[in-house]
Amino acid sequence: MLDQPAAFALTLNGEPCRIAADPGARLSAVLRDQIGCEGTKIGCNAGDCGACTVLVDGEPVCACLTAFGQVAGRAVVTVEGIEAGTRSGAALKAAMLARGAAQCGICTPGMLVSAAAYLDRTPVPDEAGVRDALGGVLCRCTGYGKIVEAVLDAAAPKGAEAAAFDGGIVGRRVPRLDGVPKVDGTERYGADGWPAETLLLRAVRSPHHRARFTLGDLEGWRAAHPGVVAVLTTADVPGRNLYGVIPAFADQPVFATGEVRFRGEAVAAVVGDRAAVEALDLAGFPVAWEPLDALIGLDAALADGAALVQANRPGNVLVRGRVAKGDVAAGLAAADRTVSGQFATGFVEHAYIEPEAGFARRVGDRIEIAACTQAPYMDRDDVALVLGIAPEQVRIIPTAVGGGFGSKLDLSVQPFIAVAAWRLGRPVGMVYSRPESIMTTTKRHPGRLAMTVGATRDGRLTAIDFSGDFDTGAYASWGPTVANRVPVHASGPYFVPDYRAEARAILTHSVPAGAFRGFGVPQMAVAQEQLFDELALGLGLDPLEFRILNALTAETPTATGQVLGAGAGMRACLEALRPHWARARAAAETFNATASGSLRRGAGVAGMWYGCGNTSMSNPSTIRIGLKPDGRIALHQGAVDIGQGSNTVIAQIAAEALGVDLAALDLVSADTDLTPDCGKTSASRQTFVTGRAAELAGRALRAAILRLANAGPDAAIVCGPGRVIVAEGEARREIDLAGLAVDRHGYVLAAEETFDPPTSPLDANGQGDPYAVYGFGAHLAEIEIDTALGTVRVLHVTAAHDVGRAVNPLLIEGQVEGGVAQGIGLALMEEFIPGRGENLHDYLIPTVGDVPPVTTILIEDGAPAGPFGAKGVGEQALIPTAPAILNAIHHATGLRVTRVPATPDRIRAGLVGLGGQA
């Protein structure tokens, strides 16, 4: 029998050791908090994500499901020890890096540990075995393909694939420059690397969708709970108890006052010693709830006489967006055929594997926040308002971000820890639990969409009439952006002469819906791209050729009347799919012609376009680049890398523009004290906007160096220790840097350049140039459906994307594969129902067994405004996947799915309704 304070002997990463810790505590907590092995990640504390995987006597287990005492006498290996502790660890790390298998990297430790166990005991590994071995680790970024490849590579190294080097740095498959810490477990995410004395904060949250509440004797409760230092409520917020990503719409309180408007809204926070706060049962917190009738769903919020979620929003309409061109009635009347449909989508959870986390500390009259975020300067400004201090008094130091996808644009832990650290003068940290993250952070908007489309007999689109309502939850978040972006995009990437699109963001008593890869466009595409198929088929036309015929070109105007002039590679994307389409359609039809059981196959296509950057609003990025006296070049790059790769891509662009090798750059990553504002990592804007600023800054510094050397524009620049050599033909000039004066940032020469994409405001009919650059793309999905069970398996996706210029094809493929995986989730399995499924076993995202091989085809139709012609691809990659899958289901069965996710029960019911397959 073992008793509590005893020390336990075990072998940790090859070292025999004795560790005194609570034997009943989760091994994951002991490893991280007591031993300091923070490479073991906690994504769910429930066995669902595998991020905490460690080896116990060589077998992978979830550390979060293992009591510390259970490993007494055993050998434990964490990611920190796999190089020495497993035979394949070192090869795996190298392969993961080379293959681009770590994006945000939060899943990487679990992947590495699981893969090492598999390879070590498998003489001849194969893909199916790898998938079985990795089935317990979720990745939300990569779509798994590159991880599987990396594991197979580690088993049988095939030689580096990155060899192809065409001389340029832009265009090269550079493995991520910030990748090493992601594969060795040292990367610091929001929950890592807190100062030892950091207090822990937990929020007290509403169990009701809507309720009035009264707080009881808080001081009495605090006094009764040793270790609790403070209880904070609305009264403790020094500044404005309100925040929001769009300043004009800021409406969300840090702590609710009097009434909560969604389940999970915070009413108070408790702060204290970590162990004491972790042990608290907050069910006993003194708060009395009086539940009120809640408006859940669009119908409830739009009903006559419905209560108002926000007093200043009549009819619960937060905002309306509209784009209109031509005469829709006439256009539809002129059509030889029209089709109409109604479609519905649900709340979708971002389900990044890193729950929100971070710590804040007060430094004199300033506050510093190290937390995961996608938008450091927006965080800075909102935290300043909440604390009632100047923005310059706030320093935001983004940690590595374990996935964002839009939701980490909004504040989460920041206002709580800022208020607490400001008040208490001690560092305060907070880590959302998985249920807390799912319950309270923004979601993809559920959409209810209605659309009518018309075309002439020869297949030319005449008109589109679209209206969409989006459930934006209790607070504004990015609701206005969705309502404005969708009407611009509802034509799809096609020329439509007569057009009307209206969207509304509707307030309800659900969790706020915000930004999620595509800002409403993926939901819209589920409707528009399926109706295009209906229309084409009704006219007896091939769905792909119908799209090619109508594709936007550089000359045809968009729905807002914008003529792109260049960089409209839509046709090229569709045409690139032609051979794949012919093969896939024929293969599916052959399969079905001979199928006797319940399996059927289908192939479907869908197109996409997406404007990069804010809609008709200024969204500048500023890059600083400087030559240091030691001959190194510092790139101040404030775009937060949330896994998508901006740390690498922006550096590639800067190096190319400057004309130096990548290795000459020292990266200074986002920190509001060190990097100028590069805006938010969203709207697929970083490669385009920040990339362009980096190009301009690189060119400016190049010009300055050449000027100093008195050299012509084609001279070569080579940086060496303490000097720069400028070579022009035979001439070589060496600049000794040691003797030169430096500016206030410590640079001998520096450049700072800002780029703000040229756009124009939209008029009352939504006409104008909302974006400077658009990404285009099309996906071909091949599926197999079990008609007796309604289950769908995606067999293959071919994705063609016009990225303008592929700055780093390796990273772009990663974005595409990850987007496809999320598109599969949207199409087939993901829906968050408020109050239910607040964990990762009820809320299902695709596992390594659910994502098929993805073939990426890159089209480079350069956008003049982009750096070297480059456009964004982050969101683009997700948009066409779901409608392509749904069109494939129709091809296979004749069933038109109007509500996603197309879960087995819905598909089966639909098939029974069709009659044929019952």
Partner 1 sequence: MFWQPTSLQEAVRLLADEGGILVAGGTDVFPALVDRPSPAGLIDLTRCAELKGIAIGADAIRIGAGSRWSEIARASLPRGLAALQAAAREVGSVQIQNSGTIGGNLCNASPAADGVPPLLALDAAIELVGPHGLRRLRVGDFVLGNRRTARAADEILSAVLIPRRLEAGGSAFLKLGARRYMVISIVMVAVTLVPGPDGRIADARVAVGAASAAAQRLGGLEARLIGTDPVGSAPADLVSAADVAGLSPIDDVRASAAYRLDAARELVGRAILQAWEAARA
Binding-residue pattern over the window 105 to 124 for partner 1, x denoting contact by CB under 8 A: ---------x--xx------
Q: How far apart are CA 550 and CA 563, in angstroms?
A: 15
Options 12, 13, 39, 66; binder of partner 1; rule CB under 8 A: 66
Among 33, 38, 48, 153, binds ligand FAD (CB under 6 A): 48
Does 310 sit near partner 1 (CB under 8 A)? no
Identify the CA nearest to 86 among candidates 51, 121, 53. Answer: 121
Judged by CB under 8 A, which stretch of 99-107, 468-476, 833-841, 864-872 contacts partner 1? Answer: 833-841
When asked if residue 833 is in the footprint of partner 1 (CB under 8 A), the reply is yes
**208: nearest Cα among 245, 256, 251:** 256
- Which one of partner 1, ligand FAD, ligand FES, none interacts with residue 181, CB within 5 to 8 A by kind? none
The Cα–Cα gap between 416 and 831 comes to: 28
Query: Which residues, at least 6 apart from 682, have a Cβ–Cβ distance to it below 8 Å?
Result: 374, 375, 406, 409, 515
Residues 824-863, one symbol each (x = binds ligand FAD by CB under 6 A, - = not), give -----------------x----------------------
| Contact present, 262 and 205 (Cβ < 8 Å) | no
**Quick one: DSSP state of residue 38?**
T
Q: Which residues pair with 197 in a beta bridge?
A: none
H or E element at residue 709: helix 691-709
Q: Does position 784 bind ligand FAD by CB under 6 A?
A: no
Nearer to ligand FAD, 2 or 124 (CB): 2
Taking CB under 6 A as the criterion, the residue among 11, 19, 34, 47 binding ligand FAD is 47
Residue 232 pairs in a beta bridge with 269
**Structure token digits, residue 479:** 């609701």
CB of 82 to ligand FAD, least distance (A): 22
| Partner from ligand FES, partner 1, ligand FAD, none binding residue 141, C-beta < 5-8 Å depending on class | ligand FES
How far is residue 854's CA from residue 815's CA, in Å, rounded to a whole number?
A: 11
Cβ nearer to partner 1, comparing 26 with 685: 26
The distance of closest approach from Cβ of residue 50 to ligand FAD in the complex, given in angstroms and rounded to an integer, is: 8
Q: Which residue's entry shows tokens 């739009």?
A: 302
Among 97, 237, 640, 844, binds partner 1 (CB under 8 A): 844
Binding to partner 1 in span 774-803, by CB under 8 A: 788-791
Q: Quick one: which H or E segment has residue 912?
A: helix 904-914
458 binds partner 1 (CB under 8 A): no
Q: Check if the beta carbon of residue 230 is closer than 8 Å to that of residue 420.
A: yes
Residue closer to ligand FES (CB basis): 51 or 371: 51
> Which stretches of the chain bind ligand FES, using CB under 6 A?
42-45, 47-52, 62, 64, 102-107, 139-142, 353, 403, 643
- Amino acid at site 94: A
* Least distance CB 840 / ligand FAD (angstroms): 8
Q: Return the number of other C-beta atoms located less than 10 Å from residue 327's C-beta.
A: 15
The DSSP secondary structure of 164-226, one letter per residue, reads ---S-STT--PPPTT-HHHHHT----TTSS--TT-EEEEEEE-SSSSEEEEE--HHHHHHTST
Choose between 281 and 714: whose C-beta lies nearer to partner 1. Answer: 281
156 scored as a contact of partner 1 (CB under 8 A): no
User: What end-to-end distance do the CA atoms of the chain give, in Å?
Assistant: 60
Answer yes or no: are the C-beta atoms of 683 and 613 closer than 8 Å.
Answer: yes
Rounded CA separation 184/102 (Å): 11
CA distance 318 to 483: 9
Contact of residue 140 among partner 1, ligand FAD, ligand FES, none (CB under 5-8 Å per partner type):
ligand FES
Residue with tokens 């975020």: 373
Amino acid at 589: E
* CA dist., res. 656 & res. 168, Å (int): 7
Q: How far is the CB of 863 from ligand FES (least distance, A)?
A: 28
User: Minimum distance between the CB of residue 824 and ligand FAD, rounded to whole angstroms?
Assistant: 20
547, 525, 688: which is closest to 608 by C-alpha? 525
Residue 355: CB minimum distance to partner 1, A: 11
User: According to the binding rule CB under 8 A, does residue 15 interact with partner 1?
Assistant: no
Does 557 help bind ligand FAD (rule: CB under 6 A)? no
768 binds ligand FAD, rule: CB under 6 A = no
Q: How far is the CB of 360 from partner 1 (least distance, A)?
A: 21
Binding region for partner 1 (CB under 8 A): 1-4, 22-26, 45-48, 50, 53, 56, 59-62, 64-67, 69-70, 72, 114, 117-118, 132-133, 135-138, 278-279, 281, 433, 435-436, 598, 788-791, 828-829, 833, 836-837, 839, 841-842, 844, 846-850, 903-905, 908-909, 912
Binding region for ligand FAD (CB under 6 A): 46-48, 841
